[in-house]
């Protein structure tokens, strides 16, 4: 049996929800290992739609254990609200099927406020954050002043930690001309929800070791995409965590040898939400058509996504930086009506051809895509379940992608429905 990590190979929004749901039906344990409550995974099961932000996708299935790891930053109020929302849809959530790492860093109201203050400051470069406090919470974690879940179990300890935290934040707020934050109000609010959230607290590293001994199948569920990785993405237009597959180990508390297979979810074209470089972006009618056909609006934020042709250079790069074994190609059906389809195979940087995205943000904005063109198939692929039944032009397009990015295509998605999937290789068994 294999333990599988699922990551997005682009800028997120690749359709991880459907693929993770399909895999979670085989897994025993599903773990979120990074990010915050901005994931936006949409699952459609038996005609019923579930929209998850922080909860792992396994939560909607019976007899699965869902875990939020230490690498995730957790807004406790948002988590409790999401639990209540999912319960109203008939999903059972309790201490037996949901575990929360006692070492998880908490997102507090001061974090979301700081996020907004910075984004609204016209002197700053706009990063395009979701204003949910995720970045500032990670800053406090690295600065060793964060409030962690375990801190809620001791009022005295919490008081001391809040003093340290607010000494930093209130100095920032004063510098921005903002009102200082009231420690006692924040402590009161945290102690009020402490019993509700602490009941899910567990030493996750220990639990994972128990699952391994029992030979349980573990699915590690990533959020965002590799191009948003704080080290390997389009910095500074990135998220504040490591989104590459190796962070599944550090973000959950298990050894890297626990991971057996890495699946990269890859959209058949490219999208990006928010600010930052995007070499293949189409600011024309074709880009609009991709967005309309693909319903490219954020699940959580409702922000319109920027759209462009498939960037093979970037996907090949993320496959190398994340060690991806195979990809699940999603939203193929969105391309059904195009006469011509293109794939970026190189960049032009001031007259010089290059085969990678430079680390320099300035150069990332300067590169121009060099395309290879493909004839469109002009027929519906929606619902097709066998590769051989796809139009020949679609098969040619997919075969070229597989060869160019140097990774096997294990799955092809031909609609949002879970059943409309061409399974070539099962990640748990391949």
Pairing of strands 270-272, 306-308: antiparallel
- List all residues 6 or more positions away from 3 whose beta carbon is below 8 Å from its beta carbon: 217, 218, 219, 220, 258, 259, 260, 261
Phi-psi group of 249: left, alpha or beta (phi > 0 → left; psi -120 to 50 → alpha; rest → beta): alpha
- Catalytic pick among 13, 115, 311, 333: 13
How is residue 300 written in tokens? 């959580």
Active site residue 111: no
The residue whose two tokens read 């008081």 is 159
Q: How far is CA 287 from the centre of its chain?
A: 23
- The closest of 381, 51, 61, 125 to 277, measured between CA atoms, is 125
Q: What span, in angstroms and rounded, lies between the C-alpha atoms of 264 and 328?
A: 6
Supply the DSSP symbol for 297: B
Query: What beta strand segments (E) does 29-180 contain?
Result: 29-32, 41-45, 48-52, 65-68, 73-74, 98-101, 105-106
Active site residue 41: yes
Would you say how long the chain is, in residues? Answer: 430
- Catalytic pick among 21, 37, 41, 151: 41
Q: How far is CA 293 from the centre of its chain?
A: 22
- The closest of 87, 35, 77 to 221, measured between CA atoms, is 35
Q: CA triplet 92, 93, 95: central angle to 5 degrees?
A: 135
Pairing of strands 65-68, 29-32: parallel
Give the torsion sign (CA, 155, 160, 165, 169): positive
- Residues forming the active site: 13, 41
């Amino acid at each position: 049996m294999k333990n599988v990590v699922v990551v997005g190979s682009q800028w997120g929004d690749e359709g991880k929800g459907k693929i993770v749901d399909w895999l979670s039906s085989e897994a025993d344990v599903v773990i979120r290992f990074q990010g915050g409550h901005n994931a936006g995974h949409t699952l459609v099961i038996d005609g019923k739609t579930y929209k998850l932000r922080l909860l792992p996708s396994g939560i909607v299935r019976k007899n699965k254990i869902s875990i939020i790891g230490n690498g995730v930053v957790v807004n406790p109020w948002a988590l409790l609200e999401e639990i209540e929302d999912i319960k109203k849809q008939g999903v059972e959530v309790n201490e037996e099927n949901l575990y929360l790492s006692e070492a998880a860093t908490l997102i507090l109201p001061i974090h979301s406020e700081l996020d907004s203050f910075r984004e609204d400051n016209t002197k700053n470069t706009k990063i395009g954050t979701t204003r949910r406090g995720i970045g500032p919470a990670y800053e406090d974690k690295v600065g060793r002043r964060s409030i962690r879940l375990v801190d809620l179990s001791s009022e005295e300890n919490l008081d001391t930690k809040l003093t340290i935290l607010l000494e930093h934040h209130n100095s920032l707020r004063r510098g921005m001309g903002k009102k200082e934050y009231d420690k006692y109000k924040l402590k009161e609010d945290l102690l009020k929800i402490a019993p509700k959230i602490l009941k899910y607290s567990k030493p996750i590293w220990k639990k994972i070791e128990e699952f391994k001994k029992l030979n349980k199948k573990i699915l590690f569920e990533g959020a965002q995409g590799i191009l948003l990785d704080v080290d390997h993405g389009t910095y500074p237009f990135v998220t504040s965590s490591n989104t590459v597959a190796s962070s599944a180990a550090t973000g959950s508390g298990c050894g890297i040898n626990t991971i057996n297979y890495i699946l990269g979810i890859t959209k058949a074209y490219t999208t990006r939400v928010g600010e930052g470089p995007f070499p293949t972006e189409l600011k024309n009618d074709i880009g609009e058509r991709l967005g309309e056909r693909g319903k490219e609006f954020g699940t959580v934020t409702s922000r319109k996504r920027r759209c462009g042709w498939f960037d093979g250079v970037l996907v090949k790069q993320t496959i190398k930086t994340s060690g991806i074994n195979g990809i699940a190609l999603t939203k193929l059906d969105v391309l059904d009506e195009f006469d011509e389809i293109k794939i970026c195979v190189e960049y032009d940087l001031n007259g010089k051809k290059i085969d990678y995205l430079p680390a320099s943000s300035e150069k990332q904005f300067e590169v121009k895509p060099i395309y290879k063109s493909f004839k469109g198939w002009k027929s519906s692929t929606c619902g097709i379940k066998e590769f051989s039944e796809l139009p020949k032009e679609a098969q040619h397009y997919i075969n070229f992608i597989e060869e160019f990015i140097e990774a096997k295509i294990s799955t092809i998605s031909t609609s949002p429905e879970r059943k409309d999937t061409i399974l070539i290789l099962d990640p748990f068994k391949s």
